[in-house]
Amino acid sequence: MNFSEVFKLSSQLCKFSPDGKYLASCVQYRLVVRDVNSLQILHVYTCLDQIQHVEWSADSLFILCAMYKRGLVQVWSLEQPGWHCRVDEGCAGLVASCWSPDGRHVLNTTEFHLRITVWSLCTKSVSYIKYPKACQRGISFSRDGRYLALAERRDCRDFVSIFVCSDWQLLRHFDTDTQDLAGIEWAPNGCVLAVWDTCLEYKVLLYSLDGRLLSTYCAYEWSLGVKAVAWSPSSQFLAVGSYDGKVRILNHVTWKMITEFGHPATINDPKVVVYQEAEKSRRRALDRPGHPAPRAAESRYEVASAPVPLQTVKPAADRANPRIGVGALAFSPDSSFLATRSDNVPSAIWIWDIQKLRLFVVLEQLSPVRAFQWDPQRPRLAICTGGSKVYLWSRAGCVSVQVPGEGDFQVLSLSWHLSGDSLALLSKDHFCLCFLETEEGPRLASGQLGDHT
């Protein structure tokens, strides 16, 4: 592996462009756009206030910077650096901003979710969508960019409206049988919309494009319910993570559960490979005269033999949002694996074989997992725990890699490049790129710190 030099960053705002050519990063009120291969600065844009959100258009020709405190959005063009657009929501305020799939409309959500304003960069026209629901995942665009599904709240009831993105005309409007809708998400093929209820009511609803209810799923009653939902890239499976510590897999034919995966505190199956992170001995380095002590303990993975007890956290019963249940899950790009994290076993990542419907691998870290993400091109998983290492797993095994450089670079988040050849590693105030070796050999970048495995 090769690492770039470390660059400044604010609020972990660092994103690759969808076409993979550029890398945008924010330093307070400045937006810096670099060439991905050379990491040379191509453009520096100055915004009116500190940037709180940044997002590329789908065609990578424009980039928006949102300043929620000021109620402002500024849009910059890569083809015409002298051109820019400013959208001011005024007294209505601003809590969210995003691109439409065509990359020529900006959708702004005002304070208190009073409305969504659709601004056109081409015609300068403005459209309004009323009654957006204040929930974490209330907006979902279909993968082909043709439709927008929006969760709404009217007269104390939940609704979903489907709009045509080409002209923002309403296509369908229907109510949902939910107490307090928590999120919506299109299947990757755009044929089915998943809707799930508040955690107090276990309910997952599947709707067709024309608003027909295809199926309703409820695993149990009278307990905390759905915590996380994820579609497989093939649209064949819907994974539902629950507060009871299980993931249930629904199939796309009958929308019934085909299996459920538990997350026990002890791994008893000898067929499951359990990799445990262990610190390497530091005595050899310390005994050498004139050799400085390492700034962070090196680590490696060791294969444990069953039964393997895992580190668990006892949730606080007197606090809201207890640390229990499956809070994060993601399918590999080929839909062959599912990675999950149970919040009461925070240091472990569980990798499930979807073809055989069984547990395949467990990775247990020394610290709680902060983030994990699949390589977009192959079944390879990257993990970070807030320390100075990045961890990679594939069918061939797993590796722990120390991030080189001065100071203690704490990896709080990470992001894959479209090609899967590099990773952006983000700390609180800095970022760097990690280049992985390919069939053509290792990639190099300016300011490279060197090979480190």
Question: How does DSSP assign 306-347, residue by residue?
Answer: SSEE----PPPTTSSS-S-SEEEEEE-TTSSEEEEEETTSTT
At 76-95, the pLDDT tens digits run 999 998 899 999 999 999 99
Distance CA 19, CA 435 (A): 18
Res 453: pLDDT: 35
pTM (two decimals):
0.92
In the sheet that holds 30-35, the strands lie side by side as: 14-16, 22-27, 30-35, 41-46
Give the integer Cα–Cα distance in Å for 440 and 437: 8
Q: Are 193 and 150 in contact (CB under 8 A)?
A: no
**What pLDDT is recorded for position 22?**
98
Pairing status of strand 115-120 against strand 14-16? unpaired
Residue 365, token pair as written in the block: 């870290």
Whether the Cβ atoms of residue 425 and residue 400 lie closer than 8 Å to each other: no
Q: Output the six-digit token pair for 57.
A: 């258009």
Tokens 């304070």 correspond to 111
Alpha carbon distance 154, 254 (integer Å):
31
pLDDT the model gives residue 298: 81
Residue 181 has a CB neighbour count (10 Å cut-off) of 25
H or E segment and range at residue 283: helix 283-287
Check if the beta carbon of residue 31 is closer than 8 Å to that of residue 17.
no
CB atoms within 10 A of CB 229: 19
* Cα(225)–Cα(324) distance, integer angstroms: 11
- Flag residues of the chain having pLDDT under 70: 281-296, 438-453
The helix/strand/coil state of 378 is coil
Half-sphere exposure of 90 (CA within 13 A, CB side): 2
